[in-house]
Structure 1
């Protein structure tokens, strides 16, 4: 699904949504040293996954300063700015 270029702040709604789409980020996976994510955690998402969540009305907030510029090839800056969190 591409590079993980969008730094997002996890929400309960997004974690539930992405799990239903086959990308379970909330369940710990000790075999991969992955503790599972909870609301408030920051995680880098693929721009296409974030776009899919945005189109479904489930996009989490983003930390613009920590997003990769190449994300703009998939998402307009004005959209990302609408979802920008003020806490860095």
Structure 2
């Protein structure tokens, strides 16, 4: 893997292999020239987010996701959920928590770091847990 950086300009942390995620399906939320969706946001999805995403035409349950799963999200999809929350269409719980250490810095082209910090998940311990929820 070439050197990809997270939002803190540190080496990008591994995110999840249960399920295997990332545009490159290597567990990292890293992007490249072929990734037009910019799958850079390391998100912990909720059932509310999955419902919302499906209502917008992107049913992530077809990939086997359930609430609590870790998934490399398209930056624009995460931002869409944030706007839906701001517009009162979903609750704050509908915006996936973000694991900042595993979110690629390319996401900062669309979302500022302070906004991501408002939705930050607790730091992981050896990639095993986010807010006490094991990746699945």
TM interval, shorter chain, is: 0.7 to 0.9
Unaligned segments of structure 2, at least 5 residues: 1-35, 86-93, 125-136
Q: Does 1:70 align with 2:106?
A: yes
* 3-state secondary structure, aligned to 1:81: helix
Matches within 5 A, 1:1-88: 2-27=37-62, 34=63, 36-57=64-85, 58-88=94-124
Which segments of structure 1 move beyond 2 Å, counting only runs of 4 or more? none
CA drift of 1:87 comes to: 4.1
Structural RMSD (CA):
1.1
Structure 1 or 2: more strand by fraction: 1
Structure possessing the higher radius of gyration over alpha carbons? 2
Unaligned segments of structure 1, at least 5 residues: 28-33
Structure 1 or 2: more helix by fraction: 1
TM-score (norm 1): 0.87
Q: Which has the higher contact order (CA 8 A, sep 6+)?
A: 1
Q: How many residues align?
A: 81
